[in-house]
Amino acid sequence: MSELQELQKSIAEELKALNDRIDCALKSPNILLNSIIGNYLSVRGKQVRPIVVMLSAKIASGHVNTKAIEGGAAVELLHNASLIHDDVVDDSKERRGRKTVNALWDNHIAVLVGDYFTTTALNCAIGTNELKIIDSICRLGQKLSLGELDQIHNARCNLLSEEAYMQVIERKTASLFVACAEIGCNAVGASEDTIKKLSDFALLLGLCFQIRDDIFDYFTSDGNTVGKPTGNDLREGKVTLPLIHVLLQKALPDNDKMLKLCSADQLSEPEIETLIEYAKNNGGIDYAREKMKELQNAAEKILNTFPESAAREQMRHLLSYVVTRSY
């Protein structure tokens, strides 16, 4: 059993309550919408984010209450809304090894379904009767949009810098993890100090998650099981940390050629393969892994400031899973 499966088993009751709440919240009188939602929810994903909500509540108070369940449902719904919309923006046809909503139906329907998930997330947040949780969800929606717009802007302007990359992934990915920590803490009335420390931890966790996800894109489909084609980021005009690091090494052979290639409006499959191999052969993957290790060590230090508990160790296992996962 994997670390993630062990974690899911340890909070199985809470996750069931969360998924029941999501199913109930998404019910509608529209037959088409119910059919689409049923198809979409047939694969739930890893649900790492609501796990962060539950464990944050447990670290802060020792228990998970109904506010944490409701808040966890809100953030998971908003996360899925962002995925549905992202697939439209990126014209992606596959996610989690299955066809996307826009591939099965069309972009118009996918946008409306994503909107329905978003407003349902807000309803769940309101259901907590906790203004701080509602605020977390609203700020999260803004940051997710900003992250996507930053990424589009960087691609159009051929902006290659580690700082710009980190800002994008902080907004589009790590912000979700931060919101989860905030929601879990505020659901149980945690102190400001606890909220700050767990939010800082969650930021580092989220950055690790996205860097690891980006590394998957540099390996063949046989070597990854993340449910998206290898090289997909480059097809969508996204240059991620392994390649950014290598392209910034001006002394490397063929650097000018690779920079010019990377600035092309559209890349052929052989060109994508060339850039992937250039990153791999010149230490890009190793650098990204080292960056993850730095972030992991910083996150571990924050965790160690909390009293020893089962929840603290479960959060440590979650961090380890995020950094070492193979899917």
Output the domain CATH number for residue 269: 1.10.600.10
Query: What would the two tokens of residue 22 be?
Result: 């999501």
Q: Please give the Cα distance from 303 to 146 (Å, whole number).
A: 29
**Neighbouring C-beta atoms of residue 283, cutoff 10 Å:** 15
Residue whose structure tokens are 């539950």:
54
The predicted structure's pLDDT at residue 229: 53
Residue whose structure tokens are 């509608």:
28
The predicted structure's pLDDT at residue 283: 94
pLDDT digit of tens for each residue in the chain (327 aa)? 677 888 888 888 999 999 999 999 999 999 999 999 999 888 877 889 999 999 999 999 999 999 999 999 999 999 999 989 988 887 888 877 788 889 989 899 999 999 999 999 999 999 999 999 999 999 999 999 999 899 888 888 888 899 999 999 999 999 999 999 999 999 999 999 999 999 999 999 999 999 999 999 898 754 444 445 578 888 888 899 999 999 999 888 899 999 998 888 888 999 999 999 999 999 999 999 999 999 999 999 999 999 999 999 999 999 999 999 877
Helix residue ranges per DSSP H, the chain: 3-10, 12-26, 31-40, 48-61, 66-90, 101-104, 107-127, 131-156, 162-169, 175-187, 192-216, 232-235, 241-247, 255-262, 269-281, 284-303, 310-324
Q: Residue 140: exposed, middle, or buried by beta-carbon count in 10 A (0-12, 13-18, 19+)?
A: buried
The predicted structure's pLDDT at residue 223: 46
**Neighbouring C-beta atoms of residue 293, cutoff 10 Å:** 12
The predicted structure's pLDDT at residue 323: 94
Note down the domain range covering 66: 3-324
Q: How many domains does the chain have?
A: 1
